[in-house]
Chain A
Amino acid sequence: SAVISQKPSRDICQRGTSLTIQCQVDSQVTMMFWYRQQPGQSLTLIATANQGSEATYESGFVIDKFPISRPNLTFSTLTVSNMSPEDSSIYLCSVMASTGRNTGELFFGEGSRLTVL
């Protein structure tokens, strides 16, 4: 499986500010996703990060709030904009296993734990 590095691993942010999370993969991957895990909750897909084009957002998530970049097949960023305490969460970068069948196995980075005061 790919090695996925995220940074920052955690941060404490002030209301109204923005923070960018970086995700670096040690190999080229086709499919890359950003998930959110709120305290005590399961994972919710924010968007699919598309290389060279705009991300595809899930219902309830918009580009203005969560702009995503994916300049190449090994790197992506997620920005959480104009943060409020409700954005306190763990944000996870994930990539799909590179198998011939594209079976959908996902692997996750270590996560970025954001606390908004």
Chain B
Amino acid sequence: QKEVEQNSGPLSVPEGAIASLNCTYSDRGSQSFFWYRQYSGKSPELIMSIYSNGDKEDGRFTAQLNKASQYVSLLIRDSQPSDSATYLCAVNMGDYKLSFGAGTTVTVRA
């Protein structure tokens, strides 16, 4: 079983819509969760971190964490063409090492 799994893509949404990305993880003891955005040919960029159950909002991004269900999600509201990228879910597996999901590629249609 993979440690971090993301919903398969690619995900195509119209401009202005909500993009919803999901991620599940296997280690029930994980405490730190992250979403990275990676544009083609670029390195990953941290966009959200979340540590407690519930929602965390930052601008158009909302991360949701449910530790009981071992589930973390990212919502992108009012999607823009500049949001077109691959989004990587990452989970701290202990000793400050992150395990990354395979990524979900999002395309926002103008």
Using A92-B43, A103-B49, A103-B51 as known contacts, say yes or no to A45 and B32 having CB atoms under 8 A apart: no
Interface of chain B residues 65 through 106 with chain A (CB within 8 A): 88, 90, 92, 95-103
The residues of B that contact A110 with a CB separation of less than 8 Å are 42-43
Chain B residues near A43: list those with CB within 8 A. 44, 88, 100
User: How many residues on chain B are close to A (CB under 8 Å)?
Assistant: 21
Cross-chain contact A105 with B49 (CB below 8 angstroms)? yes
A108 with B98: in contact, given A103-B49, A103-B51 (CB under 8 Å)?
A: no
Q: Which of B34-53 contact A (CB under 8 A)?
A: 34, 42-46, 49, 51
**Chain B residues within 8 Å of A111, by CB:** 42-43
Q: Contact residue range for chain A?
A: 20 to 34
B43 touches A42 (CB 8 A): no
Known interface pairs A109-B43, A110-B43, A111-B43; A42-B100 also in contact (CB < 8 Å): yes
- Measured between alpha carbons, how far is A42 from B46 in the docked complex, in Å? 15
Number of A-B contacts (CB under 8 A): 47
B97 near A48: Cβ-Cβ < 8 Å: yes
Known: A33-B97, A42-B101, A96-B96. A107 touches B51 (CB 8 A): no
Contact residues of A with B, CB < 8 Å?
A: 31, 33, 41-45, 48, 58, 90, 92, 96, 102-111
6 A-B pairs besides A44-B100, A105-B34 with CB distance below 8 A are A103-B49, A104-B96, A106-B90, A106-B98, A108-B44, A109-B43
> Which B residues have a C-beta under 8 Å from some C-beta of A?
32, 34, 42-46, 49, 51, 88, 90, 92, 95-103
A selection of 27 A-B contacts at a CB cut-off of 8 Å is A41-B102, A42-B88, A42-B100, A42-B101, A42-B103, A43-B44, A43-B88, A43-B100, A45-B97, A48-B97, A90-B43, A92-B44, A102-B96, A104-B92, A104-B98, A105-B34, A105-B49, A106-B34, A106-B46, A106-B90, A107-B46, A108-B43, A108-B44, A108-B45, A109-B43, A110-B42, A111-B43
